[in-house]
């Protein structure tokens, strides 16, 4: 979805509210410098997502690289951690013969494993410290 970032869109408005917004904000001499600074800092390609992990990733990358060194380090750490989690899931799929092991993400739990009950043929190893049988999903997580 493309949004107009130009204040000219409001200039010819007939609505009192929109005229007022144009006059008090868009005609303010500081408006253009703020808009320019925001464009220098915020990555315009980042979009909002309702999927929790995608939203988390988008938030991480909303600020352009090089603006804040600590943020760049945190971003790198985030990427490394996400990659390590996916590598661990791949290792567990192979090591414990769990081809359908999934790693969903939600804001409350973070990443977690889900294994369909049909794939569990024996007691799960102690590495899986919190086994929860989900009756409505036919899986353990």
Which top CATH class is 42-140? mainly alpha
Question: What is the full per-residue pLDDT of the chain (141 aa) written as tens digits?
Answer: 445 566 677 778 888 898 888 888 888 889 889 889 988 999 888 887 888 888 888 888 899 999 999 999 999 999 999 999 999 999 999 998 889 999 998 888 888 888 888 888 777 777 776 767 666 555 555
To the question of pTM greater than 0.75 for the whole model, the response is no
| Cβ partners under 8 Å of residue 47, min gap 6 | 58
Classify 3 as helix, strand or coil. Answer: coil
Burial of 115 (C-beta count, 10 Å sphere; 0-12/13-18/19+): buried
pLDDT of residue 136: 54
Q: List the chain domain ranges.
A: 1-41, 42-140
């Amino acid at each position: 979805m493309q949004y107009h970032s130009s204040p000219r869109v409001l200039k010819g408005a007939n609505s009192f509210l929109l005229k007022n917004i144009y006059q008090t904000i868009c005609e303010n001499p500081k408006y253009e410098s703020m808009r320019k600074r925001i464009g220098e800092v915020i990555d315009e390609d980042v979009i909002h997502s309702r999927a929790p992990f995608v939203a988390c990733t988008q938030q991480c990358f909303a600020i352009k690289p090089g603006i804040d060194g600590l943020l760049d380090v945190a971003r790198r750490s985030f990427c490394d951690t996400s990659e390590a989690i996916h590598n661990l899931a791949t290792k567990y799929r192979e090591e414990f013969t769990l081809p359908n092991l999934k790693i969903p993400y939600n804001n409350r739990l973070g990443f977690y494993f889900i294994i369909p009950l049909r794939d569990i043929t024996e007691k799960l190893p102690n590495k899986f410290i919190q086994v929860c049988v989900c009756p409505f999903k036919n899986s353990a997580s």
